[in-house]
Homo-oligomer: A and B are copies of this chain.
Amino acid sequence: MKDEIITCPGFKFSGCASGLKKNREMDLGIIFSEKEANTAGVFTRNRIQAACVILDRERIKAGRGRAIIVNSGNANCCTGPRGMSDAKAMTRFAASGLEIPEELVFNASTGVIGEPLPIEKIEKAVPGLIQSLSGRGLPDFAEAIMTTDTFPKISTGKGEIDGKTFTVTGAAKGSGMIRPDMATMLCFVCTDIEIKHSALKASLSKAVDGSFNRITVDGDTSTNDMAIIMANGISGVRAENRESEKVFQKVLERVLEDLARTIVKDGEGATKLVEVNVLGAASDRDARRIADTVAGSNLVKTALFGEDANWGRIIAAAGRSGVEIDSEKIDIFFNDVWMVKNGVGCGHDAEAEKILKMPEFEIRIDLNKGDGKSSVLTCDFSVDYVKINADYRT
């Protein structure tokens, strides 16, 4: 399995170094579908939106696509009218090299906000990028879209409908500026299934909600976030009724959850992956608010980094979430170690500290009130997070 190259039938990928990043690191990538594909996307809810987000939102209305061209090292955001003309130029270069209509090409950028894109470097690099397109090029693409990520993020899944196999393959980037508020990163998904545009769109929204909208690294949301999916139908497998759509949905969710998990795992400076599960709330919505507040608390996250079983910060964060809670009913567990019973500490700090040394564990908060539950993935907050973000542009 390890040596198997992840790919998706009917798609080609490549990545190269155009010179946007220092040290000749890869910074330009492209995905190409051999056939016109039904295409859907979800985009950042940030009011400040990069040129690529504005452009793609418009183009995706037609629901069709052939290619996505992505650069890292520069967000092309807050770059004025020039920003939009640069974003369009990127898609034009790709369209001309691929001999396809410009309107079927999408664009994404990620990196520093507010600096003009050195578009001439991209223009020069596109022909080589297209020449090296290959079914085996996904690892290069995934590397080319990285910013502070320390490893490329790829996931693939297969499903079966009427005895025939289809594939869903995704690549994502994201490490900082991550919080559960719409696709807080870049994610590109390819599938060879045949599915109606409306169903594809609904599937993607649902899968994003259960994956990228349930992770937090630092509470910041980017201006460039998006998730785009292209379904080119090349497998001949059709998701054409509720049952087969469900099969597809399941595979898509598994791939996105896997990518979301790797994003938190690669959270800037992170040393631990922690699942915050809240149960026994009056509603799922209440549970979600508490999970978000605990998972996003700097004090909780620094304690996790310090491997300190400081459950007081967890209960204090739950208390400020705005949800009505009974402190005398709360139970808190670290994996299976009972830390707090009826709002009072159990004195199991020694056992807890063994768990806190693990790379992955669960914080479970039971409000013992109702049936509402929710889950959010977070990471610890380390000295390196600050170092990475204090020196980001230098």
Q: State whether A223 and B316 are in contact (beta carbons under 8 Å apart), knowing that A383-B386, A389-B298 are contacts in the complex.
A: yes
Give the shortest distance, in Å, between A198 (CB) and chain B (any CB): 29
The verdict on A242 contacting chain B, using a C-beta distance below 8 Å, is no
Complex: A297 Cα to B181 Cα, angstroms: 15
Complex: A294 Cα to B41 Cα, angstroms: 28
Complex: A49 Cα to B325 Cα, angstroms: 11
For A318, A340, A343, the residue with the greatest tally of chain B CB atoms inside 10 Å of its CB is A343
Give the shortest distance, in Å, between A367 (CB) and chain B (any CB): 11
> Judging by beta carbons under 8 Å apart, are A390 and B297 in contact?
no
Q: Out of B78, B321, B340, B386, which one reaches A386, CB within 8 Å?
A: B386
23 A/B residue pairs, CB under 8 Å, sorted by A: A47-B323, A47-B324, A48-B315, A77-B316, A79-B344, A80-B342, A113-B311, A113-B316, A114-B344, A176-B299, A219-B219, A219-B298, A220-B317, A298-B298, A302-B389, A303-B389, A305-B390, A306-B390, A306-B392, A308-B390, A310-B393, A381-B386, A383-B387
> Judging by beta carbons under 8 Å apart, are B320 and A47 in contact?
yes
Neighbouring B residues of A340 by C-beta, 8 Å: 78, 114
Copies in the complex: 2
The verdict on A385 contacting chain B, using a C-beta distance below 8 Å, is yes
> Judging by beta carbons under 8 Å apart, are B391 and A306 in contact?
yes
For A177, A222, A299, the residue with the greatest tally of chain B CB atoms inside 10 Å of its CB is A299
Complex: A382 Cα to B385 Cα, angstroms: 10
> Judging by beta carbons under 8 Å apart, are B394 and A320 in contact?
no
> Judging by beta carbons under 8 Å apart, are A327 and B48 in contact?
yes
Q: State whether A320 and B386 are in contact (beta carbons under 8 Å apart), knowing that A312-B77, A313-B113 are contacts in the complex.
A: no
> Judging by beta carbons under 8 Å apart, are B181 and A48 in contact?
no
List CB contacts (< 8 Å) of A174-188 with chain B: 176-177, 181
